[in-house]
Amino acid sequence: MGKYQEVFDKSIQDPNGFWAEAAEAISWYRKWDQVLDASNPPFYRWFPGGELNTCYNALDRHVAAGRGDQVAVIHDSPVTDSVTTYTYSQFLDLTAKAAGALQALGVVKGDTVVIYMPMVPEALMAMLACARLGAIHSVVFGGFAPKELAIRIDDAKPKVIVSASCGIEVKKVIAYKPLLDKAIDLATHKPQSCLILARPQAAAELIPGRDHDWHQSLAQAAPAACVPVQATDPLYILYTSGTTGLPKGIVRDNGGHAVAMAWSMKNIYDVAPGDVYWAASDVGWVVGHSYIVYAPLILGCTTVVYEGKPVGTPDPGAFWRVISQHGVKVLFTAPTAFRAIKREDPRGEYFKRYDLGGFKYLFLAGERTDPDTYYWAQDLLQRPVIDHWWQTETGWAIAGNCLGLEMLPIKAGSATKPVPGYDVRILDANGQEAPRGNPGVVAVKLPLPPGTLPTLWQADERFLNSYMRPYPGYYFTGDEGFMDTDGYVNIMGRVDDVINVAGHRLSTGAMEEIVAQHPDVAECAVIGAADDLKGQLPVGFVVLKAGVNRDPADIKKELVQMVREQIGAVAAFKEAVVVPRLPKTRSGKILRGTMRKIADAQGFSVPSTIDDPTSLDEIRQALQTIGYAQAKG
């Protein structure tokens, strides 16, 4: 029996003993009363009675241990042509001041703070400052439009919002403050204060009495001490797309999260304190929370905060430059990034310009790594390319190749085996385990391991309906896939209407709500169609109101603009096509799944409940007109 199997078996057979041992890697003010409270399933709680502070674990304890001079954070920003480094001591001092500034604005333990920031070190300081005070942060991706930000403000009800004057997309400066002001105008809940980071690329007009300058506030603030919190207290809320169009507020606790982060860094990514680790993501997404901010710092690594793109800032060699310049040992990014690099530099000419002697592993997640991308990256790097699978809800990998335990044989297209702590099963339509090799719904037998969602923010019933009731006794992932005879997990796609655009989970339901607002649209459907670069892209189908005789190209432009304004460019909504009708069942349900299969050239049988089969031919013809040649299948 190999090391992986030995550790995995222990995690499933003796989860209390397994995670109690893992929890020794964390500094506690008070040890837990029990490892797992299973008294109220499926609301499991890890380490109840334990007290800790996540910011202390990420910063203070490393300084106390004499490692204050080690670099904690490297901010590499090709869009501003700058690189800034912070030691653990420096980052602790600034974070304590940021916590003091929030404290001066009235933030106390249990309050919520929304953070709407670009990829700057201050975003990390704001997150850790909240953790320091026992406040709950909710980071909203800086690319979201005011309406989406307003929805999150209304749900989280922050006392304070932390933002910046601008973000920078390649060469384009995007003013954040007008977006924030509009979102607050739209929101029913109004924050007491806003803390605004002024960047030299754009000025921000501060509203007297409500808005406060970041630099001035920190200069005047007294450093705040760490506030002990319960292991079961929430650390943050992170909103992810829901099938209703309303985002779901994923809750992460303090204790289980810290334990899982530390364990995963060593055992999945094979890194040690002092190693340079780079997750090329954004703090607005779960990868940024887990692997830009918390996990690397809790373990005592150096984390890279990259404000740039894989291509265009300035060229397809950007990633290789960062790895070489900073001595990165492990890179974690989305397959989309490598597809973009491959498209711009298919023969790897830029790669040859840099010395990557210290680089050991590439990890990919956020969407399935297609075999073409895997083999291209493998051939180029001549290093292990590891696909692993996880979700915003879980906070860390469900399936992967745990390199800190042993490297298992790699199978292109598979996320390898379940990570210790996750009892993954494939269920058929009746909730029974499917035979190996047969597709079904991917589920995880309860309880979930530490670090995963204990519930949704102030929405226990929605938590139950979304994740626990579809298959009682299991966590419903919403993904379909199969497990092969070797126990390798293969993820095939979503079973609901949440699509995955370049690693970002977005709701087609939310897009449909926007498209339906157009005065010329009678009804609509948005599906996720497979895309070689981004994994999936949304495609809209609209039926026009009777008597509308406008140019469909003009309507398409207006729909694209509407989605961009209300969700943001991140939605990548660029295709909308007019059709005479939508395929439906006799009861009126739109056959989105069948439409998606047509777009992806997958085989399907015409549903027996369909109202008129010729409507499917109309969808195929419409897809061909916008370049989906594979829809001819």
pLDDT per residue as tens digits for the range 273-332: 999 999 999 999 999 999 999 999 999 999 999 999 999 999 999 999 999 999 999 999
Helix (H) or strand (E) holding 175: strand 172-175
Evaluate whether residue 178 is within a structural domain. no
The CA distance from 139 to 310, in Å, is 23
Evaluate whether residue 95 is within a structural domain. no
Evaluate whether residue 543 is within a structural domain. yes
For 298, the token pair is: 């809790």
| Total count of domains within the chain | 1
For 538, the token pair is: 């949304």
Evaluate whether residue 226 is within a structural domain. no
Evaluate whether residue 8 is within a structural domain. no
Q: What is the mean pLDDT of residues 61-86?
A: 98
For 102, the token pair is: 């929030």
pLDDT, the chain, mean: 93
Q: Which residue has the tokens 């939605």?
A: 571
Its domain, for residue 552, covers 498-632
The CA distance from 258 to 252, in Å, is 10
Q: pLDDT digits over 617-626, tens only?
A: 999 999 998 8
Angle, CA 620 vertex, CA 616 and CA 622 arms, to 5°: 115
Question: What pLDDT is stored for residue 588 in this prediction?
Answer: 63
Query: Does residue 262 carry a pLDDT above 70?
Result: yes
Report residue 633's pLDDT band, with 50, 70 and 90 as the boundaries. Answer: very low
The CA distance from 624 to 633, in Å, is 11
Helices H / strands E in the chain, number of each: 20, 31
CB 54 within 8 A of CB 254: yes
For 606, the token pair is: 């015409």
Question: What pLDDT is stored for residue 540 in this prediction?
Answer: 95
Evaluate whether residue 621 is within a structural domain. yes
Report residue 429's pLDDT band, with 50, 70 and 90 as the boundaries. Answer: confident
Pairing state of beta strands 535-544 and 575-578? parallel
Evaluate whether residue 59 is within a structural domain. no
Entry pTM: 0.88
**Closest listed residue to residue 245, CA positions, set 498, 434, 560:** 498
What is the CATH number for 546? 3.30.300.30
Evaluate whether residue 420 is within a structural domain. no
Alpha carbon distances (Å) from 488 to 267, 404, 413, 443, 604 = 18, 18, 10, 14, 26
